[in-house]
Amino acid sequence: MGLLSRKATCNSHGQDSSYFSGWEEYEKNPYHEIQNPKGIIQMGLAENQLCFDVVEKWLEENPDAASFKRDGKSIFRELALFQDYNGLPAFKKALAEFMSEIRGNKVTFDPNHIVLTAGATSANETLMFCLAEPGDAFLLPTPYYPGFDRDLKWRTGIEIVPIHCSSSNGFKITKAALLEAYQNAQNLNLKVKGVLVTNPSNPLGTTISTQELNLLLQFIASKNLHLISDEIYSGTVFKKPGFVSAMEILDQNYKHDHQIRKQVHIVYSLSKDLGLPGFRVGAVYSNDEVVVAAATKMSSFGLVSSQTQYLLSAMLSDKKFRRKYIRENQKRLEKRQRMLVNGLEKAGIKCHKGNAGLFCWVDMRHLLGSNTFGAEMELWRKIVFEVRLNVSPGQSCHCSEPGWFRVCFANMSEPTLDLAMQRLKAFVVDSTTTTVTSLGIRSWNTNSITVTTTLSNQLDTKRKSVAKWVFRLSVQDRVSEPRDR
């Protein structure tokens, strides 16, 4: 017997995943425009830094809120002593309004059904503690947010069973995939307690369709399960089709079905939509009062500080600010996503068609040496160490197909994103040139932008066209754009 607990010494935290080790590499050599221009650019972090100026402007115009004052008088002592785990009523009301506003006011949220938590991390774990016993399982569509292996499983003892989604239908959730996952769990002797989805999806950057939501609700009704809808990215939807919350479908199709309503729970947070992960503000929303009561008691372990609640209740109850922020945030995210998609396209790389989130789900299957996760890791290492971009490999998101990567776009400036794209393009050109050379093809005619030797039939058709296309684009760009090296 060791001196420490099994929990403290087991490695089920998931810290060894390439998702986290990419961050470690970044920490060792972080890119800085002036101090470290050859450093690693962080594209593995889903942070939203695009609207800080809008928040800062509001803070400037509302100095009382951040300096613990009400009508000019200090409320420091009141806030310093406040420790009610039900949360500040004014904050819960403002948060409920913000959540409704994001959903185009098609649904309303009752502040009494909100439990405040230290971020969505804590909200998801709290729901696991409320809904399942150690050893029970939740079904999750793949690819999924790598942090779930820690948040849902580590301290609770819950198991995740993947619902395998595939690129062949745009990673949509199907009835067959749900049933297969359910059967797999049973084969493993695991009791299934529910399904957890992220809507919009991290890492896909897409919203879940009404059809899929209906399917999920029918599925949980037929098997008597819970549905957790992690809607942490609900305010990042910038393009059609718009966002439909699980709550909206409940209101439309299950208005009077109290049982099903009790089985659906929403997770929310201000980490992404408002860009405040450091503030640690999250929430569980449930129609089941027993879940609300239990989660409220559990929230003692991860409360939101009273000064944060006070500041944000002032900010989010300001209707004008709310509207402006939501609109501006979506506009800027759309522009950024387009920049990334266009940049990747110039490097001959395509993305899964996204309409939300702080990242793109990028298809680099054509750059793999073979169709294996080993080849994906090899490519990932090159991207981290040679191209010096930290991106998240699909394997860390439990994707069933090798060659997909999550690439974030909202945690850096436009020039940094530009530089990242130049580096990637140079890498693709170099690696496709190397591939061709290694296959016995000698020289490139860089003036006429054609390959002088006939391409070997050892190259597959896809790879061939990408190499040509990228090469052509890169030579054009070399004329007009400075390169990184």
Q: Which of 17, 48, 121, 396 is close enough to bind ligand PLP by CB under 6 A?
A: 121
The residue (of 230 and 401) whose beta carbon lies closer to ligand PLP is: 230
As measured in angstroms, the least distance from the Cβ of 358 to ligand PLP is 9
Task: Identify the CA nearest to 141 among candidates 170, 169, 162.
Answer: 162
Q: Please state whether the peptide bond connecting residue 393 to the residue before it is cis, i.e. omega within 30 degrees of 0.
A: no
Judge whether 64 counts as a catalytic residue: no
To the nearest whole angstrom, how small is the minimum distance from the Cβ of residue 233 to ligand PLP? 7
Helix ranges (H only) for 299-413 are 306-316, 319-346, 373-385
Residue 147 touching ligand PLP (CB under 6 A): yes
Set 232, 260, 266, 349: catalytic member: 232
Shortest Cβ 277–ligand PLP spacing (Å): 4
Report in angstroms how near the CB of residue 234 gets to ligand PLP at its nearest.
Answer: 11
d(CA 345, CA 473): 10
Residue from 41, 43, 46, 291 in contact with ligand PLP (CB under 6 A)? 46
315 within 8 A of 58, measured Cβ to Cβ: yes
Q: Which residues contact 6 (CB under 8 A, 6 or more apart)?
A: none
Residue from 120, 192, 379, 451 that binds ligand PLP (CB under 6 A)?
Answer: 120
The C-alpha atoms of residue 31 and residue 417 are separated, in whole angstroms, by 12
Residue 323 neighbours by CB under 8 Å, 6+ apart:
101
DSSP annotation string for 232-276: TTGGG--SSS----HHHHHHHH-TT-HHHHHTEEEEEESTTTSS-
Q: Rounded distance, CA 52 to CA 8, Å?
A: 37
Which one of the listed residues 92, 153, 272, 425 is annotated catalytic?
272
Is 191 part of the annotated catalytic residue set? no
Strand, coil or helix: what is 81? Answer: helix
Q: Is there a contact between 120 and 288 (Cβ–Cβ < 8 Å)?
A: no
Count, residues near ligand PLP per rule CB under 6 A: 14
Residue 300 beta carbon to ligand PLP: minimum distance, rounded to whole angstroms: 17
DSSP state of 153: I
Please select the residue that binds ligand PLP; options are 87, 205, 277, 393, rule is CB under 6 A.
277
CA distance 309 to 362: 37
Closest CB to ligand PLP among residues 46, 247: 46
Chosen residue from 142, 236, 245, 271 binding ligand PLP by CB under 6 A = 271
Instruction: Tell me how far, at minimum, the Cβ of 449 lies from ligand PLP, in Å.
Output: 42
- Catalytic annotation present for 382: no
Q: What stretch of H or E contains 8? A: helix 6-9
Q: Quote the least distance from Cβ 276 to ligand PLP, whole Å.
A: 9
Q: Which is nearer to ligand PLP, 348 or 394 (CB)?
A: 394
Q: Which stretch binds ligand PLP (CB under 6 A): 97-105, 119-127, 295-303, 363-371?
A: 119-127
**DSSP per-residue letters across 303-314:** PPPHHHHHHHHH
Touching ligand PLP, residues 213-232 (CB under 6 A): 230, 232
Among the options 26, 144, 145, 233, which is catalytic?
145
Which of 206, 269, 309, 396 is close enough to bind ligand PLP by CB under 6 A? 269
Here's the x/- map for ligand PLP, 335-374, by CB under 6 A: it reads as: ----------------------------------------
Nearest approach, Cβ of 265 to ligand PLP (angstroms)?
A: 13
Listed in order, strand segments (DSSP E) in 325-470 are 350-351, 359-363, 389-390, 392-393, 404-408, 444-445, 450-451
Q: Quick one: tokens of 271? A: 């980490």
202 binds ligand PLP per the rule CB under 6 A:
yes
SS3 at position 377: helix
Q: Which helix (H) or strand (E) holds 295?
A: helix 289-298
Residue 411 contacts ligand PLP per CB under 6 A: no
State yes or no: residue 97 binds ligand PLP (CB under 6 A). Answer: no
Residue whose C-alpha is closest to residue 87's, from 348, 283, 359, 332: 283
Does residue 245 interact with ligand PLP by CB under 6 A?
no
Provide the minimum distance between the beta carbon of 415 and ligand PLP in the complex, in angstroms, as a whole number. 25
28 as an active site residue: the answer is: no
Q: CA–CA separation, 432 vs 437, rounded Å?
A: 9
**C-beta pairs of 67-73 under 8 Å, 24+ apart in sequence:** 68/307, 68/310
Q: Does 149 bind ligand PLP (CB under 6 A)?
A: no
Among 31, 68, 145, 361, binds ligand PLP (CB under 6 A): 145
Among 18, 42, 156, 198, binds ligand PLP (CB under 6 A): 198
Residue 205 lies near ligand PLP (rule: CB under 6 A)? no
Select 277 or 348, whichever has its Cβ closest to ligand PLP. Answer: 277
CB of 146 to ligand PLP, least distance (A): 9
> Where does this chain touch ligand PLP (CB under 6 A) — which range of 102-110, 113-121, 155-163, 180-188?
113-121
> 205 or 348: whose CB is closer to ligand PLP?
205
What are 74's strand-pairing partners?
69
Q: Percent helix, strand and coil across the chain, each rounded to 5? A: 50, 15, 35
Residues within the interface to ligand PLP (CB under 6 A) = 46, 119-121, 145, 147, 198, 202, 230, 232, 269, 271, 277, 282
Residues labelled catalytic: 145, 230, 232, 272
